[in-house]
Structures are given as structure tokens and as C-alpha cells.
Amino acid sequence: MKLATLFLLAPFATLAQSKPGPLLPPADPRIQKLVDEISAKNLEADIRKLVSFGTRHTLSDTQSPTRGIGASRNWVRDEFLKYSKAGGGRMTVEMDTFTVKPDGRRINKPVLMANVLATLPGTDPSDTRVILVSGHIDSRVSDVMNATADAPGANDDGSGTVLVMELARVLAGQKFPCTLKFVAVQGEEQGLYGSGHLAERAKRRLEPDCDAQQRHRGQLARLRPGHQRRQAPARVQRRRTGQ
């Protein structure tokens, strides 16, 4: 019995005596350089700026330059434009606008919403992947329909929004095979409207590609050895009898 126990423990003793290998591979210096460029100071400053708009409620003011959802999303757009210019201008920036009708719940009037979208195009035309980084810019108080009270939203979701912005700042000058999109979406607190619109936009983009892939697979199937083409039904033609 003692001999059998020693025999079973022998491999573990060998492992204990060997030097443990590294748990993680060495850091890629290119990735490490990008990580080192992330600035806690920028993140804090951007959160404080978002909070300074008072409220970012989806139904709040869109005309004031200093308060409300309009001023805050304009500021994010302008920051994206700065990042693009500093990175060589490859990153495009847009206000992706869409109108939401009253829903009888959290939207009480037609609202023109906008997702602030920055796109860093991929360098490989054959790479159709899209990596999406998003956070929602809108905020609210406990009363979901109160569009005037201060709603700082530093953590929900100011922190997510400024993270999107900081990543856009750091990556704007980089080149990747696939496309990167950085988005501050609106309307989340009222019913996921911004992200829903973004998903519909992606679906419209992907549907033609899916149709093309289906056609391509069908063509390949017809070219496979042994494939039997179905005969089309004979067309019956009626002769005119003059009746």
C-alpha cells in the first residue's frame, strides 16, 4: 500500500521541483503603448464636463449651448472631431439622427434623437468585421419623465461614455484590418432607443451581404460533382383555335 502511494505521488513531486513557467505571455509592446496612453486625468475631466450639462435627459433642451441633451451630444461630437484631426483625419464623425414617435410610456412627443458616432475604417477590404464600443449619453432622475431636474449621471452612464471617448482618442491614429465604431447612444433610459436604432442600422447593412452569401452558396452547390439540376416543368402552350 505504501509503495503504491509513493508511486502515485511521484509525478506530483516532480512537478513541485520544476520551476513554474510564466502565467501570461510577454506583453505586446504595441498594445502596451496604447494602454499607457489611457489617461485617468482625461477620464475624470470628461465626466465632470458631462455632469456640467445639468441634465442629459432624452426629452431635455436641445437648443441651449450649455445645458441638456443637445449641448452634451454636440460636445461629444466636437471631441470626436478633435481626436480625428489629431489622428490624421481617417476617423469620420456623424450625428446619426432618428425620430421616435410617442409610445404612451416614456416618450410623450415626437423626439429627434441622435447617436454620436465615430468610425475608424478598417484597412483590409476583405475584413468585414465591425467592433463596436458604446455607452449611453442620456441620464435621468427617479421620475423618468422629469426632463428638467439635474441628473448628473456620472456613473450611469457618464463613465461609459467617457470611456468610449478616451478609446476613440487613443485609437484614432491607429490602423486595424477591421472597422471600429465608437458610439454615444441616446434614449437608453426611455427605452433602449439609441441602441435599438444602431442595431437596425447594422441589420440593414448586413442583410445585402447575407443575401449575397446565400446566392454564392447556391452557386457553389450547383458546381459540386454529382449535383442534379432540377428540370423546370414543361410550359404548356395553348393554341388559339379561332373560337
Query: How does pLDDT run across 81-96, given as a tens digit for each residue?
Result: 999 999 999 999 999 9
Pick from 78, 107, 82, 109: which is nearest to 95 by CA? Answer: 78
Q: What's the confidence (pLDDT) of residue 233?
A: 44
Q: What's the confidence (pLDDT) of residue 15?
A: 47
Name the band, by pLDDT with cuts 50, 70 and 90, for residue 17.
Answer: low
Strands 179-185 and 111-120: antiparallel
What are the residues whose beta carbons fall under 8 Å from the beta carbon of 49, sequence distance 6 or more? 75
Query: How does pLDDT run across 64-84, given as a tens digit for each residue?
Result: 999 999 999 999 999 999 999
Query: How does pLDDT run across 22-68, given as a tens digit for each residue?
Result: 678 888 999 999 999 999 999 999 999 999 999 999 999 999 999 99
**Phi, psi angles (nearest 5°) of residue 94:** -150, 155
pLDDT > 60? residue 126: yes
Q: What is the pTM of this model?
A: 0.77
SS3 category, 180: strand
The average confidence (pLDDT) of the chain is 85
Q: What's the confidence (pLDDT) of residue 209?
A: 55
Q: What's the confidence (pLDDT) of residue 115?
A: 98
Q: How far is CA 26 from CA 38, 110, 146, in A?
A: 20, 54, 51
Question: What angle is formed at CA 95 by the lines to CA 68 and CA 121, rounded to 5 degrees?
Answer: 140
Domains of the chain, each with CATH number or no CATH: 29-141+148-214 (3.40.630.10)
Return the higher-pLDDT residue of 125 and 215: 125
- Cβ burial of 105 (10 Å; 0-12, 13-18, 19+) is exposed
